[in-house]
């Protein structure tokens, strides 16, 4: 068995066991394999081992891999920061974006989404740790942005994404994740179609699953450390 296959099985086992502990089923949580900086051949290995959702952060790198792996039935997720003048390749080539945090970006993605394709799946990124430099809408502005995004014809609002600031105190780590779950539930009351809470990475996936994540974004634990 390849290392990637073994690591993927291990990551899935972590998800399943965290889900079981929380009284949830593992199938309610999607494993998004974050392949940024890793070559297309590693993605192919993970695909052969069963992964179907892959996340990329850098536009040109992501598009190159989409081109190289056209023979595979992959759902491509754009999860990195996006400038408003760079939206077109995301609208045209990806299936999901997790990092929408401004209406202008959402409007451009909607306009540029090819009419022959299903609407682009969108998670709004929330700046849950109130970090000055971080991307993400602040929670107070979330309802307004969500309503505007939900009204755009080229997009389908699926939920929320967060990258909580690293916390050495597990209690504080859990707080940010729990706040995200509250924001998600409140928004879902307005938008019943929401089904995705994208949170949890290699180091905090157990806590994220315990707090209600439905999609964990796992890079290092599957593909190894990045340069
Ligand atoms: C890189 C990245 C991940 C994966 O992080 P790991 O710690 O390697 O699992 C998840 N989400 C986003 C937005 C990322 O940029």
In 3-state terms the chain splits into helix, strand, coil percentages (rounded to 5) of 45, 20, 35
Residue 142: closest CA among 180, 116, 87: 180
- How far, in Å, CA of 136 to CA of 120, rounded? 19
Least confident piece of the model among 23-27, 69-73, 118-122, 132-136: 132-136
Q: What pLDDT, on a 0 to 100 scale, did the predictor assign at position 180? A: 98
pLDDT at 202: 97
pLDDT surpassing 90 at residue 60: yes
Q: Is 217 in the pocket of ligand 1 (CB under 6 A)?
A: yes
Separation CA 108–CA 84 (nearest Å): 7
Residue nearest to atom 13 of ligand 1 (CA): 79
Rounded average pLDDT over 179-195: 98
| Chain segment 30-46, per-residue pLDDT in tens | 999 999 999 999 999 99
Distance 91 CA to ligand 1 centre (A): 21
What does the pLDDT average to over 84-92?
97
Domain coordinates in residue numbering, the chain: 3-17+28-221
The residues, any chain, with a CB within 8 Å of residue 200's CB and separated by 6 or more, are 177, 207, 208, 209, 213, 215, 216, 217, 218
- Distance separating alpha carbons of residues 140 and 122, to the nearest angstrom: 19
Specify the range with the lowest mean pLDDT, choosing from 45-49, 147-151, 165-169. Answer: 165-169
Q: What is the pLDDT of residue 227?
A: 87
**How many CB atoms neighbour CB 32 within 10 A?**
24
Whole-model pTM above 0.95? yes
Cβ of 125 below 6 Å from ligand 1: no
pLDDT average, residue stretch 60-78:
98
Question: What is the model's pLDDT at position 189?
Answer: 98
Give the residue, by CA position, lying nearest to ligand 1 atom 12.
79
Say what the pLDDT of residue 1 is: 66
Report which ligand 1 atom has the smallest distance to the Cα of 57. Answer: 15
User: For residues 33 and 13, is the Cβ–Cβ distance under 8 A?
Assistant: no
CB atoms within 10 A of CB 76: 20
Residues 126-146 have a mean pLDDT of 91
Q: Is 24 in the pocket of ligand 1 (CB under 6 A)?
A: no
- Nearest CA to 180 out of 168, 197, 165, 192 is that of 197
- pLDDT recorded at residue 57: 98
Query: What's the pLDDT at 167?
Result: 86
Give the ligand 1 atom nearest the CA of 221.
Answer: 9
Q: Work out the pLDDT band at 132, boundaries 50, 70, 90.
A: confident
- For ligand 1, whether the C-beta of 102 sits within 6 Å is no
pLDDT at 133 > cutoff 80? no
**Sign of the alpha-carbon torsion through 155, 160, 39, 43:** negative
| The dihedral sign for the CA sequence 101, 159, 12, 61 | negative
CATH number of the 3-17+28-221 domain: 3.20.20.10
For 1-20, the pLDDT digits (tens) are 679 999 999 999 999 999 99
- The tally of CA atoms less than 13 A away on the side-chain side of residue 70 is 5
Q: In the predicted model, is pLDDT for residue 134 greater than 80? A: no
Q: Give the position of tokens 């909607």.
A: 110
Mean pLDDT of 120-146: 93
Cα(128)–Cα(138) distance, integer angstroms:
7
Instruction: Find the 53 Cα to ligand 1 centroid distance in Å.
Output: 14
Q: What integer pLDDT is reported at residue 96 of this predicted model?
A: 99
């Amino acid at each position: 068995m390849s290392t990637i296959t073994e690591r993927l099985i291990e990551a899935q086992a972590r998800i399943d066991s965290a889900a079981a502990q929380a009284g949830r089923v593992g199938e309610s949580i999607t494993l998004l394999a974050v392949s940024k900086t890793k070559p297309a051949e590693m993605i192919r290995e993970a695909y052969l081992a069963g992964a179907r959702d892959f996340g990329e952060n850098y536009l040109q790198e992501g598009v190159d891999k989409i081109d190289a792996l056209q023979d595979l039935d992959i759902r491509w997720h754009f999860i990195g920061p996006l400038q408003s003048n760079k939206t077109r390749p995301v609208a045209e080539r990806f299936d999901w974006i997790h990092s929408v945090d401004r209406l202008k970006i959402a409007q451009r993605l909607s306009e540029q989404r090819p009419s022959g394709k299903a609407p682009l799946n969108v998670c709004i990124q929330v700046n849950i740790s109130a970090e000055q430099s971080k991307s993400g809408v602040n929670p107070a502005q979330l309802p307004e942005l969500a309503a505007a995004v939900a009204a755009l014809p080229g997009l389908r609002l699926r939920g929320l994404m967060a990258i909580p600031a690293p916390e050495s105190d597990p209690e504080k780590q859990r707080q940010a994740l729990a706040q995200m779950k509250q924001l998600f539930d409140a928004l879902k009351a307005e938008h019943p179609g929401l089904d995705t809470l994208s949170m949890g990475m290699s180091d905090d996936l157990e806590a994220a699953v315990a707090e209600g994540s439905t999609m964990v974004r796992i890079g290092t634990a599957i593909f190894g450390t990045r340069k």
